[in-house]
A = this chain, B = another copy of it.
Amino acid sequence: MPLSYTEENYIKAIFKLSEKDDQPVNTNAIAKSIATTAASVTDMIKKLSEKGFVYYERYKGVTLSPEGKSVATQLIRNHRLWEVFLVNKLQFGWDQVHDLAEELEHIKSTDLINRLDTFLGNPKFDPHGDPIPNREGKFTLRNQTTLGTLLTDQTGILVGVREHTTPFLAYLNGLNINLGTELKIIERIQFDRSVKVQINGKEMSMFTEQVSQNLFVKLK
């Protein structure tokens, strides 16, 4: 009884929504996250519950079972390895690969994925700096410091982005900002918490708080 693409997408959505707090996930949250209606979500949750991938009590939200977590982790591994392939081997930009990986992740073959992993040199992070779980489903932890928390004169090296939307990534492209780029805080504006930043020791740029909160860095 293999899972359909649709079932897999629901399981992944539930996983991502419960990543932070580990609390039961609301019907409406799932509906918004995969652009469908609450009614459809309820239907699907019932099915996933019967199949043992989620724990569900009506009106009380839904939680992934260990089997569900395992499915989600495998999908995330697939997704991120394909993204590495698309960027490192096929020269796609990091703002162009999400939707393709969203399809490729559903090709079910652990052999394929493990060979791809080897071919890519067992990368630990995807093109957006997100950790790639290993064969056993273990994630390497990534630095969660954001540029917004750095003090004046400190330099951060970009190790990830929280936002994965094309507009945001394309905006960073326009500033020549990639993973590994050095970002030095020149000045902090108290009024709106925006920051003046020097990029790779050269150009200056202003970041709103919304931008600096979405950039994960490690201190240089």
Contacts and interface: CB of A to CB of B under 8 A. Distances in A.
A107 B104 contact: yes
A98 to B, nearest CB: 12
A6 interface: no
A112 B89 contact: no
A207 to B, nearest CB: 31
A90 interface: yes
Chain A, interface size: which category? 10 to 19
B119 A90 contact: yes
Nearest to A109: B100
B107 A103 contact: yes
Interface string A86-120: 10011110000000100110010100100110010
Nearest to A112: B100
A94 to B, nearest CB: 15
Copies of chain A in the complex: 2
A116 B92 CA distance: 11
Contacts of A112: 86, 90, 100
A90 B116 CA distance: 6
B91 A115 contact: yes
Contacts of A100: 107, 109, 112
Contacts of A116: 90
Contacts of A103: 107
Contacts of A90: 112, 115-116, 119
A104 B103 CA distance: 9
Contacts of A107: 100, 103-104
A103 B106 CA distance: 10
A117 to B, nearest CB: 10
Nearest to A96: B111
Interface of A: 86, 89-92, 100, 103-104, 107, 109, 112, 115-116, 119
Given A86-B112, A91-B115, A100-B112, 6 more contacts: A89-B119, A90-B115, A90-B116, A90-B119, A92-B115, A104-B107
